Structure 1
Amino acid sequence: MKFELQATDKFSNARAGLITTDHGPIETPIFMPVGTVGSVKAVHQRELDEDIRAQIILGNTYHLYLRPGIDILERAGGLHRFNGWKKPILTDSGGFQVFSLSANRKLKEEGAYFRSHIDGSKHLFTPEGVVDIQRSIGADIMMALDECPSGTADYDYAKKSLGLTTRWLQRGWKRYKETEGRYGYSQAYFPIVQGCTYADLRRESAKTVADLGADGNAIGGLAVGEPAEVMYDMIEVVNEILPADKPRYLMGVGTPANILEAIERGVDMMDCVMPTRNGRNGMLFTAHGIMNMRNKKWADDFSPLQEDGPSYVDRFYTKAYVRHLFAAQEILGMQIASIHNLAFYLWLVGEARKHILAGDFKAWKDVMVERVTRRL
């Protein structure tokens, strides 16, 4: 994997770059749709490619390990061949999912013990094992196993947690360096900066991660309960240390405003379930504000969903019809909303890139943050 830094905004730390993988290029900044089990919910691969214009999607190690299972994925020739997606794939290590199980997991030095949410069976994720699993999945970008503590964790717990994450990282990195991909293409490995909301711990972790010299680096453990302004502060602390010549991935973020603020602070890659999850509940994000499609005000509004929207669904369907679909609990409503939201998120980061290259990102971003947070 290669990364080329192409431009930096004059009035902020926003960056435009190009990631090159064996499955194709990724123009940054980029938003990555979440396809937890190898599928972006309610969206076909063709729509992801041709209409939404996704350049990379995510899979999740925890979920794919449990179902369909690594044996099936290996026999298929990896996740790309299994699900038909031809472009790059990033896999989360599954750490966040394991740690969200709370009562059904136990952390030890050797790794994370957990019970499956599907059948209660017992499993162990080690830093080495998670590398092996992601090798079998065939992700273009693999993530290190880490612990993701709550955003409100106290300092003592955060420090202890970071120590464990750092030791796991050293083991995972060693396994990554001594193994190779299974399917004839290269796979990158991103370490993850942790440290909760404590600046000294974040700096310590960022220094450890930067010194590793990986192809890219991630910022984890944010957007997990802390105020947005604290999240932005931690991004700034970390990005002062992470190398400028490597892509920076902010995990699990966020709203359109969060994304724009993160880009301003030097983040290159982001992912979140919000566009699809909120879309399935009737919330549409647009360049003009947020629409709740369950609201009766749309019942006799026969104008296009978003006349200037980036997806075909924006012009093909009316607000009244989409509102009817949600009122009738029709699956088509969830599909339309998911496609719309993902297309909007990809449009948003694409516009951010254009303005970074043009040199006027900061002024554009300030206007857009006000617009995308309105309630329509």
Structure 2
Amino acid sequence: MSAKPFSFKLLKTDGMARRGEIETPHGIVSTPAFMPVGTQATVKAMYPGQVRETGADVVLGNTYHLMLRPTAERVARLGGLHTFMNWPHTILTDSGGFQVMSLAQLRKLDEDGVRFQSHIDGAKYHLTPERSVEIQGLLGSDIQMQLDECIKLPSPREEVERAMELSLRWAERSRRQFETMGGPEKGQGLYGIVQGGDVPDLRVRSAEELSKMPFEGYSVGGLAVGEPQDVMLRMLDITTPVMPVDKPRYLMGVGAPDDLLESVKRGIDQFDCVMPTRAGRHGLAYTRFGKVNLKNARHMDDPRPLDAETDCPASSVYSRAYLHHLVRAGEGLAAMILTWNNLAYYQSLMKGMRDAIETGTFDDFYQKTKADLARGDIAAL
């Protein structure tokens, strides 16, 4: 018996900003949405229930890491990724391609796929578009990604074009494998990935060609790889108008709060980034008024919480002096509290944008939030 089909509803727009809902077999994802990264089937320093309480509808798992350890076949035998990690809500898995390019050793890429050695033990693997989708199917994720080639920027135009065209061919192969495995009948979705580096006409061509393929959603890849923000935004300005209006749009690997704000303004619906969790593990808190580095001695005698006006206990209960002490002492609780605070802030930011789009006040929200972020946490300086 088929599951309810993957679906996306566009509920409201305000300029280019979009408010919508993605429905998967494991629930509704309100968009624009930030997806916490659970690379190894865990959002680091957080319990699954805590992640949900911050407002997250979906988390991300990583195909590369999970195929190496504990293996997709083992996860499948144990009931799939939702059961394995105790997350009964929507899960998105990436294709593993980015990690192969950035982490794996002795990789060799050709038309068929990429051969590489594990960064863990040197074991040899062969990842093809078909195998990537097979792994994601074994994991049982609700939203899956085509295998693509993500290259560093800047790169010569001919290299960007070669990688973009290869990614288009791999998109077709990924789609065939997804349908062979019955993804649509299971209510799952497969997203195509727009490539093209920082070359405008290649971005447009990639988006146009992908739009001809029957994907459930479309992603913008190959950004957030070290290029300046203005380059990323310029690519979004020319890419999102070419992407299908009736399908979700996902900007991969982004980003800082200001990146999220600017990208929603340009019509993006989904985001993921390790930034809030990684920052939390290194003593950095995100707040409505900028970043707070709890390593700094100025917080040693500060009795104030990070943000007394929020509902999140991590933000409103613990003093900056205590958090400074935990960070300087190397206590694990520091990472737990600061990650909790950061994810709660990110989800609050996304909810603020959703509410503003709903009421037609996105530009006001955008201007105020930009001003607050630019001001920084002046009282802590």
Using structure 1 for the length normalisation, give the TM-score.
Answer: 0.97
Aligned residue number for residue 246 of structure 2: 245
Q: Call closer, same or farther: CA 1:200–1:102 in 2, change over 3 Å.
A: farther
Task: Tell me by how many angstroms 1:102 deviates.
Answer: 6.6
Q: Which whole-Å CA distance do the structure 2 matches of 1:148 and 1:373 have between them?
A: 32
Aligned residue number for residue 199 of structure 1: 200
Check the 8 A contact 1:310/1:343 in 2, yes or no: no
Question: What are the equivalent positions in structure 2 for 1:191-340 lying under 5 Å apart?
Answer: 191-340=192-341
Aligned residue number for residue 170 of structure 1: 172
Q: Which whole-Å CA distance do the structure 2 matches of 1:79 and 1:291 have between them?
A: 35
Question: What amino acid is the match of 2:285?
Answer: L
Check the 8 A contact 2:236/2:263 in 1, yes or no: yes
Instruction: Provide the secondary structure at the position in 2 that maps to 1:327.
Output: helix
Instruction: Provide the secondary structure at the position in 2 that maps to 1:104.
Output: strand
Instruction: Provide the secondary structure at the position in 1 that maps to 2:92.
Output: strand
Q: Which whole-Å CA distance do the structure 2 matches of 1:283 and 1:373 have between them?
A: 17
Question: What amino acid is the match of 1:31?
Answer: F
Question: What amino acid is the match of 2:177?
Answer: R
Question: What amino acid is the match of 2:126?
Answer: L
Aligned residue number for residue 62 of structure 1: 64
Q: Which whole-Å CA distance do the structure 1 matches of 2:46 and 2:301 have between them?
A: 27
Q: Which whole-Å CA distance do the structure 2 matches of 1:133 and 1:374 have between them?
A: 45
For each residue in 1:91-114, what CA deviation from the matched residue of structure 2 results, as whole angstroms up to 9, or x when unmatched? 000000001137521111110111
Check the 8 A contact 2:105/2:117 in 1, yes or no: no
Q: Which whole-Å CA distance do the structure 2 matches of 1:71 and 1:170 have between them?
A: 25
Q: Call closer, same or farther: CA 1:144–1:24 in 2, change over 3 Å.
A: same
2:51 pairs, out of 48, 51, 59, with: 48
Are 2:46 and 1:32 equivalent residues in the alignment? Answer: no
Question: What amino acid is the match of 1:227?
Answer: P
For each residue in 1:271-329, what CA deviation from the matched residue of structure 2 results, as whole angstroms up to 9, or x when unmatched? 00000111111111111121111111111111122101341111221110001000101
Q: Call closer, same or farther: CA 1:4–1:49 in 2, change over 3 Å.
A: same
Using structure 2 for the length normalisation, give the TM-score.
Answer: 0.95
Q: Call closer, same or farther: CA 1:67–1:29 in 2, change over 3 Å.
A: same
Check the 8 A contact 2:308/2:317 in 1, yes or no: no
Q: Which whole-Å CA distance do the structure 2 matches of 1:57 and 1:102 have between them?
A: 24
Aligned residue number for residue 114 of structure 1: 116
Q: Which runs of 5+ in 1 are unaligned?
A: none
Q: Which whole-Å CA distance do the structure 2 matches of 1:61 and 1:164 have between them?
A: 20
Aligned residue number for residue 13 of structure 1: 16
Aligned residue number for residue 345 of structure 2: 344
For each residue in 1:55-103, what CA deviation from the matched residue of structure 2 results, as whole angstroms up to 9, or x when unmatched? 0000000000001112211111100010110100000000000011375
Check the 8 A contact 1:114/1:124 in 2, yes or no: yes
Check the 8 A contact 1:293/1:319 in 2, yes or no: yes
Q: Which whole-Å CA distance do the structure 2 matches of 1:309 and 1:285 have between them?
A: 13
Check the 8 A contact 1:310/1:347 in 2, yes or no: no
Alignment identity in percent? 43
Check the 8 A contact 1:257/1:373 in 2, yes or no: no
Q: Which whole-Å CA distance do the structure 2 matches of 1:331 and 1:373 have between them?
A: 31
Question: What amino acid is the match of 2:205?
Answer: E
* Count of equivalent residues: 372
Instruction: Provide the secondary structure at the position in 1 that maps to 2:310.
Output: coil
For each residue in 1:6-57, what CA deviation from the matched residue of structure 2 results, as whole angstroms up to 9, or x when unmatched? 1111xx300100111110001100000000010000000110112x121000
Question: What amino acid is the match of 1:365?
Answer: Y
- Pairwise CA RMSD: 1.3
Which consecutive aligned stretches of 4+ in structure 1 deviate over 2 angstroms post-superposition? 101-104, 372-376
Are 2:7 and 1:2 equivalent residues in the alignment? Answer: yes
Aligned residue number for residue 76 of structure 2: 74
